[in-house]
Structure formats: C-alpha cells, structure tokens
Structure 1
Amino acid sequence: MTAPAILWFRQDLRLGDNPALEAARQRPVLPVFVLDDAAAGDLAPGGAARWWLHHSLAALGRDLAARGAPLLLLRGDAVSLLAGLARATGAAEIHAGWLVEPWARAQEAVLSERLAGEGRRLVLHRSTHLLRPDAVLTGSGKPYTVYAPFARKLLTLGDPPPPLEAPKALQPVPAPEPGLTLADLALLPRPPEPDWAAGFGAAWKPGEAGAKERLARFAATGLADYATRRDEPGIEGSSGLSPHLRWGEVSPRQVWHAAREAGGAEALPFLKEILWREFSHHLLWHRPEMPHAALRPAFAAFPYAPDRDLLRAWQRGGSGYPIVDAGMRQLWQIGWMHNRVRMIAASLLVKHLLQPWRDGFAWFMDTLVDADPANNAASWQWIAGSGTDASPYFRVFNPVTQGEKFDPEGAYVRRWVPELARMPSRFIHRPWEAPEEIRRAAGLTGAAYPRPVVEHAAGRARALAALRAAVRGTAEEEAEA
C-alpha cells in the first residue's frame, strides 16, 4: 500500500499551479493548515491580513472538499502538530511551499530534522515565487542588492514555465483528529472589539476564484493602460492582485503568463512589479534582519524623534496633507492603499515627521490585507533610505505637489476625505491656502480639517539636518521641492 502524504498549506492557498499539491496528490493526501503565531512572532499576520486569511481558508476548504479531501485546520506548534500527524497517518512525506521569512526557514529546518529521525521527509517546493531567491546571484556569486540589475537578470531568463492545472479529484486520507473550525482560529474581529473590517467585504473577494476574476479583469481592461495610469489613485489603475499574491491564491507564474498573453511586450511595466516582489523576497532571504534593522549601517543610529501624537495623527488620516490622509483613511476602511500614495505617506512619516520607519512598518503589517514582511520591509527601507537599494534619503516627497501631480482634480481626496469634497480643485491639496470665503463655501469651518502637522519646507529642512547628523558627507542636499 502506498504511504500517504501530508500537504501543508502555508502561503499558497490555491489548487491551480501548486507544485506542492501536484507532488502530494500522487499519494493519498491529507491537506492541513496550521496557525502558528508563536513561531512567527512579530511577523505573524496582523488584523487585516487575518481577516483575509479567514475568508481565504474558507474558500480553500470548499475547493478541497469538492475534490474529496477536506482541509484540516489546526493551531499551535506546527512542527509538533505536523510530526504527530505524520506518525498518526503513516505519512512518508510532508509537502509544502518554502518561504523566505527567517522564522519559517527555522521552522522548516527543525521539522525536516525531526521527520528525518523517523524515516520521513519534508519536501519543499517553489510555490510562491518565480525562482528560489538563492538561485539568483550576481556574476561574482553574490546576492543582488539593487533592483534594476536583478530585474534585468530575471528577464534574460525568459518567461517561466507554464502554470500547472488544478487537479479535478484527490484521494483523501482520513484525519486522525477532527481539527478546528474556522471560528476556532479567531481570525475575525470579535465583540466587544469594533468591526473595523466592515468595509472590507465590499472591496475584496478572497480566495482562488476571486484571484482568477481579478486577474482576468485586469488583463482584459487594465493592463494596456497600466504604465500610464498606475500612479493615479483616483482611478482603478492598479491590478489589485497584491493580497491574492500575498496568500498565494494566485501564483506569480499564473500572473506572468496571463499578462504576457494579454499584453505581450506591453506587459513589461506590470511584470516589473512582479519582479520587485521577487527582489524584496530575495533581500529578505539573504538579509533576514531586514524587518527589524536598517540594512545600511549608517542608519542604525539615525536621529528619529518618536512622538506618539504625530504617529497617531498620521495613522488616523489627520496629518493635514489631503493626499496622505486620503491614503490612510482608505487603508483603514478597506485594508489597502494605492501604491503611489503609500510612498507619499511613508515619506511624510519618516522624513517630515522623523518617526521611525519601524513604526510605519508595524502599522502597515496590522492594517494591510496584503501585508507581507518582505515587501513591506523592503519598501519602508527604500523610502527611509536605509535599504540596500533605497530612495536617496535627501529626496523628500512634497505631499502637496505629489497630490497635484497624481490626483489633479482631487477625485481620490474627495472620496476618502469627504470634508474636502466641495473644495475647488486648485485648493484641494492645499486647503489651508484657500481664502476664507472659499473655505466657508466648501463647508470647511473651524476644525473641520486640520492644518498640516508640519509645514513642508520646515519638515524637509529638519529631515536634511537629521541626515547630515547621521551620515555626514554621504549625500548631496537635494530634494523634490
């Protein structure tokens, strides 16, 4: 009799193009998901990502049950639980997609050793990336530290292999224990906690089917204009695939081939975003300290000035800069923020306000449905200037001119900052400059909307002074005015 296999779902919550599933289904298979927050520590999914995970697991469970192999849900020490399952079922192998997070790699090593001691195997597969991060190296055999040459290297390798089809049926292995219900995992907000996720459902459809729908819609209607419209937050110019990729409801290979088929060479600007994701994961694989420490030593002692009031004003969309506040309110209401606005908002926090990038990283980890430790850390360190491939610290985004450039009529601001909805376009990004009669006509009286917590020129000057104190002589004093 063929020994069964365990399929350990992690961040690849789909049936299509899942190499771990394809390998495991050659035997009778027991699909399992283990929620192990203790192992992940401060990189465990935050509140918004847990909301997504709940609904993604519900969809995956339905898809697996329809193919004859129900999903077993467990919570606790994944190593002990999986090793116990292997013994109880007689499984010879546990198949899973490998991850880049340092805690996950440590977990894999311990589980592999424990299984080997019992004559079993942990078999890891490339389920969530185009290539293994340790398989992409420079000509001198070192990890890449700059995105552009990394992307060029991957592009020279050509398109990835075509994605695998989802199996139509699975041969199940009876679970030795009943497992938990989704409610037992407690992933959703529960009373007396406010239902801060009330608006998420209207914006998102978690699960593999939702990922397929969004990818198909983007390939058909959004890909052709992506290069010119992706920076306009007031329209649906981005793909919206980031949370589906975060939880592996769609694979990078599936996205890549769908974009190529729909756009050919014109798909390249979008494909480069997939390569940025690969690069972020490449960085985390080789620099596991990235979510916690500056990658450039000069920034280890950067003179941030932590201020709880400033941080809270930024978090709650009360900075006084409309484009930033619109983004932070969008984030709070639907668990996602437009990428261009993420950069502007992050720049305001770490430069104008001199708040530690780790505070912004932590807030995004808790409030983004697509919160991914690698992408999040790489992007924050890029903005802060502390990453290996970073925006020069002396480039300070002007939140007013950025708003005027990318949201010229204020469509984005009017949607997410309704108290400014009646403000004329010429003042929508600088309402404090509007004459009093215009402010009154727009309904902007008293404390209806705050003035900026720091004036741009003063914030910029303070940021550059902090730079000089931290990394003297390493940067020119240039900034976006």
Structure 2
Amino acid sequence: MTAQPITLVWFRRDLRLFDNTALQTAIRRGLPVAGVFVFAPAEEAALARNGRRLGFIYDSVAALQAALSAKNVPLYVLHGHAENEIPQLAATLAAEAVVCAESYEPQGREETNAVSRALDRSGRALVQVDDFAVLPKAAVMTHTGRPYLVYTPYKTAWLQTYAQRFGTWAPADNWHDLAALQTRLPESARRAPPLPDPAALGIGPDERTTLFAGGEEAAQAQLGRFLNHIGCYRLERDFPAKSGTARLSPYIAHGMLSPRHLVYLARQHDSEGASAWLGELIWREFFQQVLYHHPNAARESFRPEYRNLAWPGKAEWFERWKNGQTGYPIIDAAMRCLAGSGWLHNRLRMLAAGFLVKDLLTDPRLGEAWFAEQLIDYDLAANNGGWQWAAGTGCDAQPYFRIFNPVLQSQKFDPDGRFIRRHVPELAHLGKDVIHAPWLAKESIRTHGYPPPIVNHGEQRLRALALFKQPEKAV
C-alpha cells in the first residue's frame, strides 16, 4: 500500500505562522503538511561565541513547534547538514515536495542548491518562495533593468511598485483548509521527535534568557508596544538612553514577524514617526537586494577603489574597541552594551563602526565580523550594508570625508550622559559637562581606572582623509 504523500515545509528564517508564504504555499498544494527546522553545525560554529543568539533561535523554534502542534502540524527539529537531513526526512515521510523561503545570502543560496540537487536525485522537488522581503530580488529595478545602487531613488521606485502590486493587503492564511488536510496526515508522520537538547547545540544553561524573549507571540507583543508610541519614533529614535526605537530587529531577522504586515502597519499610521519607520523598512529591502545582486559585497568593499586599502590600525586598538576601552565614553558604552546584551541601538552602531574605521583606521570587515558574532539580530545584508555605509565603501554610503566626532555625537545624542552611566560605571559620578570627554576636564577628576583616549580624533581624522584620498589620486 502506497503511503499518503505529504508536503514538507522547511522553516528557515520564517519562524512564524502568520502570513508565512512557505506554509500557505504548502497548504495550497492540497496534501497534508509537516514541517522541519535544521540546526546546522556550520551555523553553530559561526555562532559559537554567541550562545544568546542560538538560545533565542532555539526558544523561537520551540514556540513554533508548539504553535504548529496546535494545528496538528508536526515540526521535526533536526541537527545536522540540511542537504542530508531534508532529503532523508522527505523520503521517510513520503513528501512529494519541500517548500521553503528563498535565501538571499550566498551561503544560504549554496545550501538551497545542495538540498535541491539531493531532492532531485530522489524524484522530489524543492519549491522556493519569496518571503524575506516584501518586494524581492528584481521586483524594483531602474528603467534600464539594473538594480538600484542609491537608496533615495530606490525608495521612490519601491513605493510606486508596492502600490501597484499590493493596493490593499491582507494575509492569505487558510487555516480551514489546513485543518481538513491534516486529518489525512499519516499516523507515522505525527510523531515528531522532541527538540535536541540545548547542550547538544552548545547552548549553556545561562544563555536561554536574553533581552528578547523568543517566539512569534513575543514578537507580536513587542510590535504592539512599539505601535503605542510609533508617532514619537522620528523624534526619539536617535537617543539611546530612551526607548525610542522599535526593538523588533531580532524578530524581523529571524522571521517571527511578516515584513508585509509591518509595511502595512507603517502605511496605516498617519504620522511622521510611522513614515520614518517605513523608510527604515525600505532600507532593509534595499540592503537585501544589493546583497542578492552583488554577493561579493559580503567579502569585499562594494566600491572597487577601496578594496586594497592598506589599513594602518593596530591590533591593540581593535581589541580595546571590542572591549570598550578606547577612552571615548560613548564608544565604550556602546561596545559594552553590545557585549552585555547582544543588541545595540542603531545610532550607536553607526558611531562605533565609524570610529573603528575612521579613528582607529581598521579594516571594516573586522568590525563587521565582530558585530556578526555578537548580535542577536544578526542579518548579513543589514550588517554588511550598515558597515559599508559607515565606512564609506558601499554603493550608497556616507562619504569618506564625513567623519563623526565621537564627543560631539555623544553630547548631541546622550546629552545628560544617561546611556554612558548605564554602561561605563567608572564614570557614573561625573556630571554631564564632563562625562563625554573626561580628559578635557578643567579640574582633576577620578575616573576609577577608565583609560585616556587611545588616539587623538583630530589627528586620526586627517589620517583617514589621506588614506581614502589615495585611490582618487590613482584614478
């Protein structure tokens, strides 16, 4: 007797039920559905120094398994290489096809191709769908059919294309049909194994609780909190001591929120704050399509004239930057916050990145890799795009000659020193007139071992300008 065929949904960075394109595509195929998520050894190696992120993903997968179970959909959570685990499970469950969201990242695309080839050898299909971006890949192109390399015209074209494609939007979730399909799911497919033990994945007992609770329900709760003050977003988002940002990035990065729903909500709110937030969502789309069309940007400067710069920064400077010991309070507060929580305010990401590149004259790829190790909300396109923007090496980047003064930035965006005091306790006793630059105090002050600046900003600024001008002279 031939086994009842099913459709297998391969969950990746779409750990949710609401408006999940892969899941709804599987339902429309008209066969019972099972799900699978794979903890890959290669990914664990990359996350070895960030158990918090892996713990966040683990908790989110556990929440997804419970939510799917409530709809009689088993989620198989496996540990191994996707190119081996997915085809083997598909054969065991008699899956006719595997449906997954397409990856834009070079490594993810290679993994997808490997799974596709393995499935093809057994007569099964891999069906890829667009889910991670609202307007994916080549949906927004110039009139000559090329990808946009500058954000502002991309945003204009994006908004026009969105209006043409979506008009009014609503999720196409079809739970009625799913309930009917699952009555035909073979009994043998219902018994998904329990989640792998966290210790087997390298997750320590103290790494399950983070600044962000895992799972779709927690994501929706945070989204609700943000929508309550979205009108203030434009005015408050640049001040790290305030709760002015959305704090949704971990949930967006791992797919616990639908990007289509977020854009819909931003457009529904008639406020300057919502408009500014929509702009940030479009920046995310911009970086995603840049990486898709230019995967080499993940390894080298987008602009070729900066690929061979001889960075003179010292290894000691890089280590002190990582450890929050540069002597510049706002930079050190940012880096300690990152190390302590796995998250960092966007304004501080820009400041810390610009300081490493323009003041410490260090290869931005080193800083990008450090952020990748630390961030719970790590996303290759966003991280790479942000670093190339700050370094001036990207396609639409801050000009190399625009160099942040860390003291002035500190005075502007942390005027009372609240954020600095929170993360640099050695300086918590200092007043706001001194805390931004203790070495400039008119009187002797106690800094409890806090170091003086490792470089002089004015001098390093001139060195940075000279360094970046070299390629121009050669042209």
Asked if 1:65 is matched to 2:86, the reply is no
Which residue of the partner structure matches residue 98 of structure 1? 102
Aligned-pair CA distance for 1:57: 1.1
Query: CA separation of 1:464/1:47 partners in 2, compared to 1, >3 Å: closer, same or farther?
Result: farther
Asked if 1:183 is matched to 2:184, the reply is no
Aligned-pair CA distance for 1:151: 1.0
- In terms of mean alpha carbon deviation, does 93-102 or 158-167 score higher? 158-167
Say if 1:74 and 1:180, in contact at 8 Å, map to a contact too. no
Which residue of the partner structure matches residue 418 of structure 1? 425
Written as runs of structure 1 = structure 2, the 5 A alignment for 1:64-143 is 64-143=68-147
Q: Which amino acid aligns with 1:190?
A: G
Query: CA separation of 1:39/1:19 partners in 2, compared to 1, >3 Å: closer, same or farther?
Result: same
Which residue of the partner structure matches residue 458 of structure 1? 459
Say if 1:89 and 1:176, in contact at 8 Å, map to a contact too. no
Which residue of the partner structure matches residue 21 of structure 1? 23
Residues 64-87 of structure 1: CA deviation (Å, up to 9, x unaligned): 222222321112221222112222
Residues 419-465 of structure 1: CA deviation (Å, up to 9, x unaligned): 2112111112111111334x24xxx24x2x11111111011111112
Query: CA separation of 1:466/1:48 partners in 2, compared to 1, >3 Å: closer, same or farther?
Result: farther
**Matched position secondary structure for 1:425:** coil
- In terms of mean alpha carbon deviation, does 54-63 or 262-271 score higher? 262-271
Aligned-pair CA distance for 1:265: 6.7
Written as runs of structure 1 = structure 2, the 5 A alignment for 1:15-54 is 15-25=17-27, 26-38=30-42, 46-54=50-58
Aligned-pair CA distance for 1:135: 2.1
Aligned-pair CA distance for 1:39: 7.7
Of 261, 274, 280, the match for 1:267:
274
Which residue of the partner structure matches residue 294 of structure 2? 287
Of 188, 210, 222, the match for 2:218:
210
Which residue of the partner structure matches residue 9 of structure 2? 7
**Matched position secondary structure for 2:377:** coil
Distance 1:138 1:151 in 2: 12
Say if 2:231 and 2:272, in contact at 8 Å, map to a contact too. no
CA RMSD of the aligned region, Å? 2.4
Asked if 1:378 is matched to 2:385, the reply is yes
Written as runs of structure 1 = structure 2, the 5 A alignment for 1:50-449 is 50-159=54-163, 160=166, 161-165=169-173, 167=175, 171=182, 172=185, 174-175=188-189, 179=193, 181-183=195-197, 186-187=200-201, 189-190=203-204, 195=206, 197=207, 201=210, 203-221=211-229, 223-263=230-270, 267-437=274-444, 439-440=445-446, 444-445=447-448, 447=449, 449=450
Aligned-pair CA distance for 1:330: 1.0
Aligned-pair CA distance for 1:390: 1.0
Query: CA separation of 1:264/1:395 partners in 2, compared to 1, >3 Å: closer, same or farther?
Result: closer
Say if 1:16 and 1:164, in contact at 8 Å, map to a contact too. no
Aligned-residue identity in percent: 38
Say if 2:44 and 2:54, in contact at 8 Å, map to a contact too. no
Residues 276-299 of structure 1: CA deviation (Å, up to 9, x unaligned): 111111011011111211111111
**Matched position secondary structure for 2:269:** helix
- In terms of mean alpha carbon deviation, does 22-31 or 136-145 score higher? 22-31
Aligned-pair CA distance for 1:122: 1.0
Aligned-pair CA distance for 1:13: 0.3
Distance 1:391 1:131 in 2: 25
Query: CA separation of 1:40/1:48 partners in 2, compared to 1, >3 Å: closer, same or farther?
Result: closer
**Matched position secondary structure for 1:419:** helix
Unaligned runs of 5+ in 1: 475-481
Residues 173-232 of structure 1: CA deviation (Å, up to 9, x unaligned): 5449865633257445438xxx5x48x53x2112100110111111112x1011111111
Say if 2:330 and 2:410, in contact at 8 Å, map to a contact too. yes
Aligned-pair CA distance for 1:237: 0.6
Which residue of the partner structure matches residue 479 of structure 1? none
Say if 1:311 and 1:349, in contact at 8 Å, map to a contact too. yes
Distance 2:247 2:291 in 1: 23
Residues 208-265 of structure 1: CA deviation (Å, up to 9, x unaligned): 00110111111112x1011111111110110001000000000111212223333467
- In terms of mean alpha carbon deviation, does 168-177 or 91-100 score higher? 168-177
Distance 2:43 2:418 in 1: 43
Distance 2:161 2:281 in 1: 15
